[in-house]
């Protein structure tokens, strides 16, 4: 029983995670509203390359919404079914709303494959996730992967924000607030320390094991260059960047493996022909890594 001395924060968390009427009509309305909001972020140009656009691509916002649903169900089966239906409605609806506004048209649904797999996975995940409401050591175990993910995302977006302020500032703050909210709500006492340790350890491991850039991608050459099977890449002894021939013929491509951002000069010798290029690996303002191949003079 809550008393008059209960803090505003505790009242808020108990209302948000256990005090909402998560009926079936509410779940359907919640799914439709989330889909419309996400579609607006993806369609309206002002949101392009911002933290808001990430809602249509990354998981951090969907963890927040899913945990609200799970925590307001009365049993694990109810949690699994309602979370599944929430994603079953919201994800395809996002693509459906975008169709009239996209040059890709119905081809947009090609991207739905990944989200359809995650939608199916919500059944076992939300069944187990409901047990965070017990607010015991099981809550720590269940939330540990979520806290680790949010911690790493906050670290990545925060580092990007420092380089390109204020881009991804909202993402950084949003992830940090989620971590604090889950620690306060589901991990009382010493368990809060365990949750905090999970975040710190995950960020430290990620920071120590990952390079500033981790590129492993294939790209076409400019001007639709056609290479023969005898083509070879010639470049300086750069241990951070490796460039090889991926395919030849009409669909000639190169493969780039890079552990850093920056420009790398290389050439391709193909019989009597020599092609000179510069591979530019950089991070755009939205935090995505881009590869650009430019021709250069002899």
Dig out the tokens for 103 from the structure.
Answer: 């040059």
Residue 103 bridge partners (DSSP):
none
CA 153 to chain centroid: 8
What residue ranges in the chain does DSSP mark as E strands? 215-220, 232-235, 241-247, 253-258, 262-270, 273-283, 289-295
Give the pLDDT band of residue 6 (cuts 50, 70, 90): low
> What are the pLDDT digits (tens) for 65-79?
999 999 999 999 999
pLDDT at 25 > cutoff 90: yes
Question: Which of 23 and 164 is assigned the larger pLDDT?
Answer: 23
Q: How many Cβ atoms sit within 10 Å of the Cβ of residue 116? A: 14
Residue 212: the pLDDT is 67
Dig out the tokens for 216 from the structure.
Answer: 């492993």
The whole-angstrom separation of Cα 110 and Cα 133 is 36
Give the pLDDT band of residue 1 (cuts 50, 70, 90): very low
Residue 5: the pLDDT is 46
Q: Are 124 and 65 in contact (CB under 8 A)?
A: no
pLDDT at 295 > cutoff 70: yes
pTM (2 decimals)? 0.76
Indicate the range of 166-175, 177-186, 227-236 predicted with least confidence.
227-236
Q: Domain residue spans in the chain?
A: 8-209, 215-295
Compute the average pLDDT of residues 45-59: 90
CA dihedral for 51, 54, 56, 62, sign (positive or negative):
negative
Indicate the range of 141-155, 209-223, 227-241 predicted with least confidence.
209-223
For the chain, the first-to-last Cα distance in angstroms comes to: 79
Residue 115: the pLDDT is 92
Of 36-40, 228-232, 260-264, 289-293, which one has max mean pLDDT?
36-40
> What are the pLDDT digits (tens) for 72-115?
999 999 999 999 999 999 999 999 999 999 888 888 888 888 89
Mean pLDDT of the chain: 89
Residue 40: the pLDDT is 96
Residues 6+ apart with CB under 8 A from 12: none
pLDDT at 15 > cutoff 60: yes
Q: What order of strands is seen across the sheet that includes strand 232-235?
A: 232-235, 262-270, 273-283, 289-295
Q: What order of strands is seen across the sheet that includes strand 253-258?
A: 215-220, 253-258, 241-247
Share of the chain above pLDDT 70, in %: 94
Dig out the tokens for 25 from the structure.
Answer: 């009509």
> What are the pLDDT digits (tens) for 242-265?
899 988 888 888 999 887 888 889
Compute the average pLDDT of residues 157-163: 89
């Amino acid at each position: 029983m809550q008393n008059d001395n209960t803090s505003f924060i505790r009242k808020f968390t108990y209302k948000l995670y256990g005090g909402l009427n998560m009926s079936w009509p509410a779940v359907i309305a919640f799914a439709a509203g989330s889909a419309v909001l996400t579609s607006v972020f993806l369609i309206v140009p002002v949101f392009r390359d911002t933290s808001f656009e990430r809602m249509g691509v990354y998981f951090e916002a969907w963890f927040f919404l899913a945990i609200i649903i799970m925590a307001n169900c009365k049993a694990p089966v109810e949690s699994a079914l309602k979370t599944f239906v929430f994603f079953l409605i919201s994800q395809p609806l996002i693509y459906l709303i975008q169709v009239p506004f996209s040059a890709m048209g119905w081809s947009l649904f090609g991207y739905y494959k990944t989200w359809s797999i995650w939608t199916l996975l919500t059944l076992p995940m939300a069944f187990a996730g409901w047990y965070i409401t017990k607010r015991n050591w099981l809550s720590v175990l269940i939330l540990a992967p979520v806290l680790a993910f949010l911690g790493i995302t906050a670290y990545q977006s925060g580092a990007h924000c420092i380089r390109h302020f204020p881009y991804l500032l909202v993402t950084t703050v949003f992830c940090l607030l989620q971590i604090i909210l889950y620690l306060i709500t589901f991990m009382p006492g010493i368990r809060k320390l365990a949750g905090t340790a999970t975040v710190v350890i995950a960020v430290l491991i990620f920071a120590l094991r990952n390079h500033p850039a981790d590129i492993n991608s294939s790209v076409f050459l400019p001007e639709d260059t056609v290479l023969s099977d005898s083509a070879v890449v010639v470049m300086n002894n750069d241990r951070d960047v490796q460039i090889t021939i991926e395919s030849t013929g009409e669909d000639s491509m190169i493969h780039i493996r890079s552990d850093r951002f920056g420009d790398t000069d290389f050439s391709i010798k193909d019989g009597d022909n020599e092609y000179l290029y510069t591979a530019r690996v950089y991070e755009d303002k939205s935090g995505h890594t881009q590869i650009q191949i430019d021709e250069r003079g002899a």
